[in-house]
Amino acid sequence: MKQQLKSVAAAAAIVLGAAFAAAPASAADASTTDTSGTGIHAGDILVRLRAIAIMPQSSTSSGSTLNAINAQANNAIVPELDFTYMFTNSIGAELILGTSRNQVTSNIGPLGGVGVLPPTLLLQYHFNHAGKVRPYVGAGINYTIFYNNGLHALGQPVSIDNHSFGPALQMGIDVDVTKNVFINADIKKIWMRTGASLGGTSLGTLYIDPLVVGVGVGMRF
């Protein structure tokens, strides 16, 4: 986990450094930027396909059974598809679609897996919109659906809540390869949770709260 956090911190530093380097030095610089054939503009639709690593930062409600058995959600690597619509040259909204199957472990052994579908809507600000290198930041909300529950303990099925709302934060960078094709790197923090019960008795709440690190390719339409 420490190594994963170091990797995320390094990626974040690269993104922030690129944002600083790509930002116009002054208003005069911004006004003279050549916008012909490069960058993004109001009305553009951006479609990205990423490979993402979902790294849960798991915790459980204090004093619960889940806390006593140290229940943890494992990492997963899955594809992710997202769509961004640019309302202005710099402000857009992104809808993120992806799903994963997360395995849950504990001190008493594997507890099985559960499907996680967290559609996420983010409001974004894109820096240096007319350039070939465009850092961005975003904030929004996710609605997480848990499905195809295969969790069990002591030979009995574990029931879980099937949804949760939570905030989401994001930063990333797009780098043009051609006029309409770009590569992308992206980091998100998503807060999600689910309650669990066994035979009608509450086991507590599992907070998954993953870091999501992705790389991929995108197209501008």
Find the helix or strand (DSSP H, E) in which 91 lies.
Answer: strand 91-97
Measured distance CA(95)–CA(68) in Å, rounded: 37
Rounded mean pLDDT of 161-179? 93
- The per-residue pLDDT for range 21-55, each reduced to its tens digit, is 434 433 333 433 444 567 899 999 999 999 999 99
| pLDDT score recorded for residue 90 | 96
What Å distances lie between residue 198 and 110, 121, 151, 157, 164, CA to CA? 15, 33, 10, 7, 19
* CA dist., res. 208 & res. 54, Å (int): 10
Residue type, 55: M
Element (H, E) at 203: strand 201-207
pLDDT, position 124: 97
Predicted pLDDT at 6: 44
Give how far the C-alpha of residue 124 lies from the chain's centroid of Cα atoms, to the nearest Å: 13
Report the chain's mean pLDDT, rounded to a whole number.
83
Only one residue has tokens 């051609």, namely 178
Q: Which of 62-66, 111-115, 135-139, 196-200 has the highest mean pLDDT?
A: 135-139
- Per-residue pLDDT tens over the stretch 9-25: 444 444 334 434 434 43
Q: What is the mean pLDDT of residues 141-170?
A: 89
Helix (H, G, I), strand (E, B) or coil at 183: strand
Q: Which domains, ranges and CATH numbers included, belong to the chain?
A: 2-23+45-220 (2.40.160.20)
